[in-house]
Structure 1
Amino acid sequence: MRDIDEINAEALNENAAIKQAILSGDSNVQKFYDNAVVFITGGSGFIGKQLIEKLLRSCNIMKIYVLLRVKKNKTIEERLKALLDDPVYDDLHKEQPNFVHKIVPIEGDIESLKLGIDDESWKTLAEEVSVIIHAAATVNFNEAVKKATLTNVRGAREVLKLAEICKHLK
């Protein structure tokens, strides 16, 4: 059985190789996202947080719009602050302390028509967004059918409607 020091040393070596590959900037993924303006649904969920962190750490992202809803009497700005205080962003805070300025919350709700986004923000997204990542969903298998349908079906349809009008979509 291997001891903890051996496992840690192996992990550090792997992390160093990954960081070196990121710094090279040669991957097709990095090239695709170079100077991208990304719109993400589900950015406050487990997968969404990991995705945002990885994109900002690995790619030259211009801006990330994150769809957030008012929840538990917290504004979208308060929710974004809480989101960015998550430990998943600890290394990013150290390496790129200004990354928070690249993240812009958009008030909305995945269950609503036009994603619950106001007309001005909808137009802004249509003008600026080059990549859309739809990661919002309910994964509660005991969810009422109506709520699950609004979230998982209507939400996807409304994201596609936004994609149709985005002028710079890749």
Structure 2
Amino acid sequence: LSHLTSTGEAHMVDVGQKESSERVAVAVGFVHFSNPEPYRLITENLNKKGDVLGVSRIAGIMAAKRCSDIIPLCHPIPITKITVDVGAMSPQNAYKTAARYGGFKHGVIAVEARVHTHGQTGVEMEALTAVSCACLTAYDMCKAVDKAMHISETRVVYKAGGKSGVF
């Protein structure tokens, strides 16, 4: 593990000697509804807390920019581009992807974050932080009408750049 010294103590990895390269990471995550009300309120723009999708998107962007303040030992990275897509999928459309991700009976919010940099270390943590915060924001904005919704499948689905190449 690169974040541990030879004596087992946590430390920030030295990336000073690494070559800079273009790096990209994409992460996804989902907020599953347990009843139809959140999906209806979102699509009809009637949620009392406001625009769930727009606020969640902004929260994801803000979170990616602050990743090194949230995650211990994470390097502050000069992010060159962040795209956070947040969308509500109807139960019918969500059902088509249910075999892959599971449990979209009442609809879902799907989040995808794509983060770019030109630097010495990757942006996977920034992409994951963006998705996580966007999902948490959507959860917060919908919890009054769905106490049993849940967040799932948050993961990196693509990474490019650096020594390890494409994943």
What's the TM-score, normalizing by structure 1?
A: 0.29
Return the structure number with greater strand share. 2
Return the structure number with greater helix share. 1
